[in-house]
Amino acid sequence: MAAEAGPLAQFAIKPLIPIHIGSINASYTNSAAFMTLAVVLVSALILFSTRSASLVPSRWQSVSELAYEFIANMVRDNAGQEGMQYFPFVFTLFTFVLMGNLLGLIPYAFTFTSHIIVTFALAAVIFIGVTLIGIVRHGIGFLKLFAPHGVPIWLLPLLVPIELLSYCIRPFTLSFRLFINMMVGHMLLAIVAGFAVTFGIFAIFPVAVDAALILLELLVACLQAFVFTILTCIYLHDALHLH
Amino acid sequence: MDVSSAKMIGAGLAAIALAGAGVGIGLIFSSLINALARNPAANVTGPAYIGFALAEATGLFGLGIAFYILLIA
């Protein structure tokens, strides 16, 4: 997809520091810069707010504690107590995706979750990790995941391929859901903003619509990060408990 | 018919899938409003937003195909 002018230009990846190792282009791009910014912001929030760890939390410490409790409850409710050993990963995943989505709402900023390669890398790691957790934990009994308990034997030749397909499709739907929500949201904002140029005297209407759409995009940013994380917890539950 | 016109028609046809997304989201929030009207203390708002995200995603899968037809293939 060439970086044409218009609604697609905002997704162009620009190398900020060109680094070429042989034939590999390992440049530090604007996508990498925003990923770094997301990690730095979240780390700074957690580290500096919990510096003077007081029993009665200050305002900033409450923010970190609320985030911790929110994800801890999500992991415990959806993946059980054994899932809590994967809590650091789930917390990192949630804050990374949430900060990535939110940073994209700043005008002229870059949304690194609006590229399928980024979300697919995340979803592939989650899928392979969760499958390996299931195989290491249950051995060959992991295949019982595809033959649910209490299914009549004549139904199995129909049910097992369907269950297998719906399992193998998980990384694709997980990644595509986040990617398409982010890309369509930002493309819609750019298209409506383009109308403001052509409407002339009535430009206030597209701008007002854009303002309302940014509120919707704020909801979608937080919601899609939440859905990405809760589906990860559900897939983890399937691997740990096989039902 | 040249390729770019066919691409536009294909993208337009694929975008009809968003009707399903609209119906799905309407169903979810209609049952949310019904549930809250019967029992305002029920905390079903969380699952309602999860359901909204999943229904919206299915509609956007169709829009993704529309963009693929229009811009990539």
A193-238 pLDDT, tens digit each: 989 888 889 999 999 999 999 999 999 999 999 999 999 999 999 9
**Distance between CA A6 and CA A192 in Å, rounded?**
11
**This prediction's pTM:** 0.92
Return the pLDDT at A1.
47
**Distance between CA A104 and CA A185 in Å, rounded?**
10
**Domain residue ranges of chain B, discontinuous segments joined by +:** 3-72
**Domain residue ranges of chain A, discontinuous segments joined by +:** 13-50+58-241
Report angle CA A222, A224, A230 to the nearest 5 degrees: 105
The size of the A-B interface in CB pairs under 8 A is 36
Pairwise CB contact (< 8 Å): B64 & A176: yes
**A227: chain B residues, CB-CB within 8 Å:** 50, 53-54, 57
| Residue predicted with more confidence, A6 or B32 | B32
Which tokens in the block code for residue A85? 């050993």
- Comparing CA positions, the residue from A215, A134, A172 lying closest to residue B57 is A172
Which tokens in the block code for residue A93? 């995943």
Pairwise CB contact (< 8 Å): B50 & A1: no
Which tokens in the block code for residue A16? 């900020």
* Closest CB to A227 among B50, B63, B71: B50
Q: Which CATH class is domain B3-72?
A: mainly alpha
Pairwise CB contact (< 8 Å): B54 & A184: no
Q: Which of A11, A73, A175, A184 to mutate to test the interface with B (most CBs of B within 10 A)?
A: A184
Q: Would the pLDDT of B71 be above 50?
A: yes
Which ipTM was obtained for this model? 0.88
Q: Please, which pLDDT band fits residue A7 given cuts at 50, 70 and 90?
A: confident
Distances (CA, A) of A162 to A140, A166, A182, B27: 19, 6, 29, 26
**A224: chain B residues, CB-CB within 8 Å:** 53
Nearest Cα residue in chain B from A176? B61
- Comparing CA positions, the residue from A94, A42, A68 lying closest to residue A233 is A94
Which tokens in the block code for residue A167? 């399992």
Return the pLDDT at A4.
60
The percent of chain B in helix, strand and coil, each rounded to the nearest 5, is: 90, 0, 10
Which tokens in the block code for residue A52? 């003077």
Average pLDDT over residues B7-30: 95
Tell me the angle at which helices B45-67 and A204-241 cross, rounded to the nearest 10 degrees.
110
Return the pLDDT at A55.
82
Q: SS3 of A128, please?
A: helix
